Chain A
């Protein structure tokens, strides 16, 4: 166990090193220039562009730029080119904004998918199963932004309440409890939209896992023993069907940093996804690369956690 953890950490650090090189190269080799040195702006003279390039170390060879960047990153000195704010501070602020969306979205996905999927599996082929299938595919195929517009228009026109932003604009003066409720309301639509595709996919997955397990001999044995159907489905079948989901749990972690560009833009939500998108458009390399690095770290931690979890829940696996 200890040796597994040790080996795994070494491997992950090596992977991280290569990820850092590859992502650095991809971002720097992609065409385009930071907006501060945009050659198409008639206001920028050649001397100015050169001064900016020097300031940003863009005039140095790539390997030097790489060293400069990671030196700044590890000493926490990375600053955004757009507004000179420290990169970690910016990312942390946005992270806190995206976090509630992520948490509510994830809870919605996981709590709703299971009952829906399990019921579909138990009453396989019935009218419930068919309509659940129909709706899942509908939700998977509908474009997120389109669904978002429809929902916004419906809610705004029917209920005349604001849905944009993290809270009702100008609510600053009201009491604490109202504000909390207001924030929850503003979370509802974007997190629901973020969860729809997840619910549709995950409930399908739950259904197929359950069906597979339900066909196993030990489930038939349990039924033959005369156990109550609920006992069979929820104790004997569900527990075994859960195993693959444990691995998925670890992989949610990187989603934390991703945010959602489309949902955050439509709802004017000041989150990570939007910041990353705008940074890419402005070629704000420090922000893009820092985000990239942090998400690589999170992916590696996520896989590590799911490895560990798997060991804990499945007694057949011993490393």
Chain B
């Protein structure tokens, strides 16, 4: 019977065809051993694919893993997290400061306030410093030149927001007739310059300057808007920090074109161009202008003191000749696209980048892999690996299997696997603390969290060590404040809040909360009751939720909990400040700028200081930290701020998690000693735990070497 035969034969034939293909597939051994090329490749796996290979446009970690290899910035951070030059051979930070001649106020020792007289007064003070306090002497020493900027008159047109309707803007004509200004050129940035100078010019010299007198608007505007315009066009004093980068000569892009100051300026312009919608705009917003002095010198002038801005020059530098208007126009024409709407975002460059970093882009197959070749003309000498391969493997267990099979070179160990894999003699392992921490945040606007003692008591009632032990499988460390634990800014002298339920009860009793006959804490007949929430889908936070609830119940606090879907959690609860307490985490950069998360001006809707923390000294320190360019001084401010925040406990700081990575044991650092002999060295992590720091010197050997212990 034909039908029967077909029905039985078809699946059999199909199965045979499928199964026999096994015979043609290379085994893992053949791939790893029979392939000498494999030793010259470094293969890395990632959960997600890169989105856009352009350093100024990308915002995801997979893309930056590739752009970091293909592009190079002016500077980056060394083993100790200090800045070191890359494309920039050196750089110099100085400052230009300005202030308006204030004729409205008396200056001690001057009959008549004229610009010339002020300059002479400062010059005279510089010549006989001994009369003044030490801090003023330092400030005067720092001044290189004092000069006059003559009075000016100008007309500008400004778009401002209509105060009655946030959506509308209004066009305003402004006539400015500014008085003369004094310009001071300083060797180093001095945020206290004007504070100290007021010892000479009089206490109210700077703050009594009324810019509104020199500014006329048509039509007239409200006071708030007028003040904003005065701040913009006629600030009494102005700090303009300047960074001058000296570029390394003879650095080339992968296409042979040399890198010069115009590329740096182009990169800045591209970031600021509204059409490119770069997610990095905010880091460059304080820049006033970027000037090309000569092909190897570029000067960046800032509008105001903003020390974290230096770090932004780690941004990869784009090749101007491939992305400028002419090049984009040519590309748009070739593709037949609309010239008007074609921007860098649409350019094919983003899928085929050309930079000046240690690796040259070769191929990208979406959701499968990205291939990079080494750049033989890399200025620091080419990397030892010939190829860098980025594989997209979305499943962690699959990644692990591929690692064991030798088809990827490293694997990020999950917390529950650390015990098993960390000391496995087949691999080398590295671990360190992450950037970022988990916390329980209290809405200090609400009762009872307004009382510091209550917040401290809540922190004391939770045994964080137990959370680390049981929830994180010991892959976490206590943290006491908002700075990354591996940086100098973190204050190591602050002790974590101890687990002390008795002490907590004592503190709560001081605050007026006492246990009633049923064991609940009460004050004026009201139970201590609140709701702790977190987002759904994060098992660790869910576990913390349960542990915190249980710990607090034990000392008589009536805690309810709720899990909310992420988007609703953020939009409806966090952004609208509608919560009592929440479990959440921050991931951070190395910069100590805490303005958005801790400054009291950031406590409104949709802002990040959603717990409502407000402390005058802290506000002051946060501003000072943003403006301080001296590292030692910065560390001092940070330690003090850390102390204040730890003492106030608006968060219960829980932990920072530890990561562990394992690497093929055959990967080592290859170096040359003085006689140009090859020497192999074990890969050692830097002080901050970064084991890939020397990646360009890595190489894989056929056999795992023995190192003397």
Which residues of A are at the interface with B, using a C-beta cutoff of 8 A?
30-33, 35-36, 39-48, 51-52, 55, 82-84, 90, 93-94, 104, 107-108, 111-112, 114-115, 118, 149, 152-153, 156, 159-162, 164-166, 168-171, 177-178, 181-182, 184-185, 187-188, 228, 230-231, 233-235, 238, 265-268, 270, 274-275, 278
Contacts and interface: CB of A to CB of B under 8 A. Distances in A.
Contact of A39 (B3, B59, B606): B606
Contacts of B392: 268, 270
Contacts of A40: 570, 574, 608
Interface in B535-588: 565-568, 570-572, 574-575
B705 interface: no
B656 to A, nearest CB: 17
Given A33-B567, A156-B401, A161-B28, A43 B282 contact: yes
Interface of B: 1, 3-4, 7-8, 10-11, 14, 17-29, 31, 35, 38, 43, 48, 51-52, 59, 274, 277, 279-283, 285, 345-346, 350-351, 365-369, 391-395, 397-398, 401-402, 405, 407, 565-568, 570-572, 574-575, 596-597, 606, 608
B398 A266 contact: yes
Contact of A188 (B7, B21, B38, B391): B21
Nearest to B17: A184
Given A43-B282, A152-B398, A235 B393 contact: no
Given A51-B274, A169-B369, A234 B22 contact: no
A212 B35 CA distance: 59
30 contacts: A40-B608, A43-B280, A51-B274, A55-B277, A83-B52, A93-B366, A94-B367, A115-B11, A118-B7, A152-B397, A161-B27, A162-B31, A162-B405, A164-B398, A168-B31, A171-B26, A178-B24, A181-B20, A181-B25, A187-B18, A188-B19, A230-B1, A234-B3, A234-B4, A235-B3, A266-B394, A268-B368, A268-B394, A270-B368, A274-B394
A84 B1 contact: no
A221 B7 CA distance: 25
A265 B29 CA distance: 25
B350 A83 contact: yes
A84 B596 contact: no
Contacts of B48: 278
Most chain B C-beta atoms within 10 Å of own C-beta, residue among A36, A45, A160: A160
Nearest to B608: A42
A268 B395 contact: yes
Nearest to B10: A111
A163 to B, nearest CB: 9
Given A115-B8, A238-B3, A44 B397 contact: no
Nearest to A228: B1
A129 B31 CA distance: 44
A115 B14 CA distance: 14
A83 B348 CA distance: 11
A238 B2 CA distance: 13
Contacts of B11: 108, 111-112, 115
B565 A31 contact: yes
B648 to A, nearest CB: 21
A185 B568 contact: no
A39 to B, nearest CB: 6
Contact of B368 (A35, A152, A165, A171): A165
A48 B279 contact: yes
Most chain A C-beta atoms within 10 Å of own C-beta, residue among B23, B350, B565, B567: B567
B584 to A, nearest CB: 9
B51 A83 contact: yes
A185 B394 contact: no
Given A111-B10, A166-B368, A230 B4 contact: yes
Given A82-B52, A185-B25, 16 more contacts: A39-B606, A111-B10, A111-B11, A149-B397, A152-B401, A161-B26, A162-B26, A162-B28, A177-B24, A182-B21, A185-B22, A188-B19, A230-B4, A238-B3, A266-B395, A274-B394
Most chain A C-beta atoms within 10 Å of own C-beta, residue among B1, B48, B398, B572: B398
B22 to A, nearest CB: 6
A41 B43 CA distance: 30
A80 to B, nearest CB: 9
Contact of B281 (A48, A83, A231, A265): A48
Contacts of B574: 40
A55 B345 CA distance: 12
Contacts of B25: 161-162, 168, 181-182, 185
Contacts of A47: 281
A266 B279 CA distance: 32
Nearest to B346: A84
A107 B18 contact: no
Contacts of B19: 188
A162 B407 contact: yes
Contacts of A48: 277, 279, 281-282
A238 to B, nearest CB: 7
A234 B391 CA distance: 50
Nearest to B387: A170
